[in-house]
């Protein structure tokens, strides 16, 4: 089974575009209804439940993609492997529910959010049914993209139909859960194409061999979740719902873009695992260069654009009530590039090479620093303190993992692209945004004109300077158009 890597990347790019556009529709609408306090409560409950979902799912996604890719052409062996992971996942989900309910009803500071937490907690039980790792192994990005379109369209329609005032906060939380759990049910049904779910007497399930690597990856993802959620949780505990709301608005765009860029990486994992298994070092380095190039090519101008238009973007996304979060969005912007590069080292270099323990070490160091800085800075600087803690800890984690990878295998440097063209193009973005902001006062027109102008200038610059990645994208589009035209002629 050799699906087009370019097609998969294109599908994932489209999926990432949806990931960007949909929250930019829903968040401005809901933030104006629930304001900073309501938005803060929603994000606090969601962030806390995400930690429990992580405990329920362990490190199964990453482990499943890596190990499942080794025998994806053998349905019998793959089915046994999948059932072994399902058993482990079922046990972890049950234990997680017991702890979750204990926390909700026994901790006073959490109990006051119990209704939102219980609604969000429905997702914990359905996390085991997602089988996203199966679709990663078999590169089913067309299905994942279609599923995401259906889920996100449902969310938008339901939002406009049912969410109208602050009393609808619980309904909105339920609709978000329903959209995600519905996707998991469809995943489970379709997974029968790849997995025989019947538990047969003659099958031997070896769970023990999976536990150690899964727990290492789980610990890594737990530390990573600390990066994403501990600042919001600590803001809820050490500050107020108002500051949680401001921080949530500022971090929203960053999370969307980081999710977009890191979503590119799993596309390459099955191919990277195969190239390593077959000893094809040149192919491995070639794949790494592609993913590094794509991330830098798109993430660098995104960081620059947010730095230039932070105030306008926060007003567009959340409204004037969130204007105080402008400084926070400026502090957080570089994390888009920093976190994306770190994730390449983690999940496209170290994990495929079986070095997940080093991923754990780097992530833990960053997470501990983030926790310590947040405890010190949040009571004083509130949302800005949380942002400063995040940027410092992410930078440290990237530095450590980059040094380790280069010292372990200096050939990895061959896969790192030349970035002068991307820096020059991003510099032109600064100039364009400065001129547009000087001439136009309306923030919506400023954003739209800046986006169109900067995109045009940036990509034309790459074309003029004959950037290899840009030329490859153009050739792919041309070839696709030629094929469509040839089908039309027939």
Q: How many residues does the chain have?
A: 490
- Distances in Å between the Cα of 469 and the Cα atoms of 298, 304, 439 are 11, 20, 34
Taking residues 409-425, what's their average pLDDT?
81
Q: Residue 270's pLDDT is what? A: 72
In which residue are the tokens 């949040």 written? 378
| pLDDT given for residue 240 in this prediction | 73
pLDDT attached to residue 322: 76
**Whole-angstrom distance, CA of residue 67 vs CA of residue 76:** 15
- Is pLDDT larger for residue 16 or for residue 65? 65
Q: How crowded is residue 157: how many other Cβ atoms within 10 Å of its Cβ?
A: 11
Say yes or no to pLDDT of 407 above 60.
Answer: yes
Average pLDDT over residues 145-157: 78
Q: What is the pLDDT of residue 60?
A: 81
pLDDT greater than 70 at residue 177: yes
Query: What is the 3 state secondary structure string of the chain?
Result: CCCCHHHHHHHHHHHHHHHHHHHHHHHHHHHHHHHHHHHHHHHHHHHHHHHHHHHHHCCHHHHHHHHHHHHCCCHHHHHHHHHHHHHHHHHHHHHHHHHHHHHHHHCHHHHCCHHHHHHHHHHHHHHHHCCHHHHHHCCCHHHHHHHHHHHHHHHHHHHHHHCCCHHHHHHHHHHHHHHHHHHHHHHHHHHHHCCCCCCCCCCCCCCHHHHHHHHHHHHHHHHHHHHHHHHHHHHHHHCCHHHHHHHHHHHHHHHHHHHHHHCCHHHCHHHHHHHHHCCCHHHHHHHHHHHHHHHHHHHHHHHHHHHHHHHHHHHHHHCHHHHHHHHHHHHHCCHHHHHHHHHHHHHHHHCCCCCHHHHHHHHHHHHHHHHHHHHHHHHHHCHHHHHHHHHHHHHHHHHHHHHHHHHHCHHHHHHCCCCHHHHHHHHHHHHHHHHHHHHCCCHHHHHHHHHHHHHHHHHHHHHHCCCHHHHHHHHHHHHHHHHHHHHHHC
**Would the pLDDT of 212 be above 80?**
yes
Mean pLDDT across 431-454: 88
Structure confidence at residue 102 (pLDDT) = 92
Decide: 148 and 18 in contact? Cβ < 8 Å.
yes
89 — pLDDT class (breaks 50, 70, 90): confident
pLDDT band at 431 (very low <50, low <70, confident <90, very high): very high
Mean pLDDT for the stretch of residues 38-52: 82
- Using alpha carbons, select from 206, 191, 192 the residue that is nearest to residue 135: 191
Q: Which of 16, 115, 83 is nearest to 340 (CA)?
A: 16
Structure tokens at 168: 């609808």
Average pLDDT over residues 275-296: 81
Using CA atoms, how far apart are residues 451 and 302, in angstroms rounded to an integer?
A: 10
| 363 burial type by CB count under 10 A (0-12 exposed, 13-18 middle, 19+ buried) | buried
How far the first Cα of the chain sits from its last, in Å, is 28
147-161, 212-226, 339-353: range with lowest mean pLDDT: 212-226
Structure tokens at 330: 């400026």
Q: Are 419 and 296 in contact, with CB atoms under 8 Å apart? A: yes
User: What value does the mean pLDDT of the chain take?
Assistant: 80
Percent of the chain clearing pLDDT 70 (strictly above) = 88
pLDDT at 230 over 80: no
Longest CA pairwise span in the chain (Å): 75
By mean pLDDT, which of 17-21, 133-137, 198-202, 281-285 is the weakest?
Answer: 17-21
The pLDDT value recorded for residue 7 is 61
Q: Is the pLDDT of residue 1 over 50?
A: no
| pLDDT exceeds cutoff 80 at 439 | yes
User: Phi, psi at residue 350, to the nearest 5°?
Assistant: -75, -50
What pLDDT score was predicted for residue 176?
80
Highest mean pLDDT among 328-342, 357-371, 413-427: 328-342
Q: What is the CB-side half-sphere exposure of residue 345 using CA atoms within 13 A? A: 28
Confidence of residue 428 (pLDDT cuts 50, 70, 90): very high
Neighbouring C-beta atoms of residue 210, cutoff 10 Å: 21
Residue 153 in contact with residue 166, Cβ under 8 Å? no
pLDDT at residue 185 greater than cutoff 70: yes
Whether the Cβ atoms of residue 335 and residue 390 lie closer than 8 Å to each other: yes
pLDDT in tens, 47-75: 788 878 888 887 787 787 777 777 777 77
As a whole number of angstroms, the distance between CA 405 and CA 427 comes to 30
Asked if residues 473 and 459 have their Cβ atoms less than 8 Å apart, the reply is no
Residue 127, both tokens = 């996390």
pLDDT (tens digit per residue) in 339-376: 888 888 888 888 788 787 888 888 888 878 888 888 88
How buried is 486 (Cβ within 10 angstroms: 0-12 exposed, 13-18 middle, 19+ buried)?
A: exposed
Q: Any residues with CB less than 8 A from the CB of 11 and at least 6 apart, and which?
A: 141, 142, 144, 145
What residues contact residue 327 under an 8 Å CB cut-off, 6+ apart?
A: 384
Q: Tell if the pTM clears 0.85, that is, is over it.
A: no
| pLDDT at 466 (0 to 100) | 82
Q: How far is CA 445 from each of CA 230, 442, 449, 459, rounded to the nearest angstrom?
A: 36, 6, 6, 21
Give Cβ neighbours of residue 148 (< 8 Å, ≥ 6 apart): 15, 18, 19, 183
Average pLDDT rounded to a whole number, residues 248-274: 73
Rounded Cα–Cα distance for residues 433 and 254 (Å): 19
- Provide mean pLDDT across the span 87-94: 87
Q: Is residue 489 predicted with pLDDT exceeding 60?
A: no
How is residue 371 written in tokens? Answer: 């926790």
Determine the average pLDDT of the residues in 198-213: 79
Cβ atoms 225, 50 nearer than 8 A: yes
């Amino acid at each position: 089974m050799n699906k087009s890597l370019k097609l998969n990347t294109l599908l994932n790019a489209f999926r990432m575009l949806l990931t960007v556009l949909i929250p930019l529709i829903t968040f401005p609408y809901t933030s104006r209804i629930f304001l900073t306090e309501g938005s803060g409560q929603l994000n606090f409950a969601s962030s806390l439940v995400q930690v429990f979902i992580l405990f329920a799912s362990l490190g199964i996604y990453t482990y499943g993609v890596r190990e499942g890719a080794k025998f994806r052409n053998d349905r019998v062996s793959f089915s046994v492997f999948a059932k072994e992971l399902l058993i482990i996942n079922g046990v972890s989900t049950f234990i997680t529910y017991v702890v979750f309910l204990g926390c909700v009803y026994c901790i006073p500071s959490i109990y006051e959010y119990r209704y939102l937490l219980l609604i969000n907690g429905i997702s914990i039980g359905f996390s085991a049914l997602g089988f996203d790792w199966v679709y990663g192994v078999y590169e089913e990005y067309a299905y994942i993209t279609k599923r995401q379109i259906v889920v996100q369209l449902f969310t938008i329609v339901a939002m406009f139909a049912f969410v109208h005032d602050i009393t609808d906060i619980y309904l909105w939380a339920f609709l978000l859960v329903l959209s995600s759990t519905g996707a998991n049910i469809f995943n489970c049904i379709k997974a029968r194409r790849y997995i025989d779910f019947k538990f047969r007497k003659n099958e031997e399930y070896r769970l023990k061999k999976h536990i150690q690597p899964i727990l290492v990856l789980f610990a890594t993802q737990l530390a990573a979740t600390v990066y994403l959620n501990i600042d919001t949780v600590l803001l809820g505990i050490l500050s107020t719902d108002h500051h949680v709301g401001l921080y949530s608005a500022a971090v929203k765009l960053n999370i969307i873009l980081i999710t977009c860029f890191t979503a590119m990486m799993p596309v390459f994992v099955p191919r990277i695992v195969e190239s390593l298994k077959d000893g094809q070092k040149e192919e491995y380095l070639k794949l790494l260069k592609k993913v590094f190039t794509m991330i830098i090519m798109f993430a660098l101008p995104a960081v620059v654009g947010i730095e230039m238009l932070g105030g306008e973007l926060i007003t567009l996304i959340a409204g004037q009530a969130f204007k105080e979060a402008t400084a926070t969005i400026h502090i957080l912007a570089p994390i888009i590039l920093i976190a994306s590069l770190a994730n390449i080292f983690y999940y496209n270099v170290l994990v495929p090479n079986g070095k997940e323990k080093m991923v754990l070490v780097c992530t833990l160091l960053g997470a501990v620093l983030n926790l310590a800085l947040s405890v010190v800075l949040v009571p004083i600087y509130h949302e800005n303190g949380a942002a400063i803690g995040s940027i410092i800890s992410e930078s440290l984690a990237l530095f450590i993992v980059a040094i380790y990878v280069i010292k372990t295998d200096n050939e990895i440097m061959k896969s790192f692209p030349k970035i002068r063209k991307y820096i020059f193009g991003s510099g032109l973005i600064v100039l364009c945004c400065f001129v547009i902001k000087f001439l136009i006062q309306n923030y919506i027109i400023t954003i739209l004109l800046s986006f169109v102008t900067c995109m045009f200038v940036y990509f034309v610059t790459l074309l003029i300077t004959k950037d290899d990645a840009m030329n490859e994208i153009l050739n792919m589009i041309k070839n696709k158009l030629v094929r469509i035209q040839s089908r039309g002629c027939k």
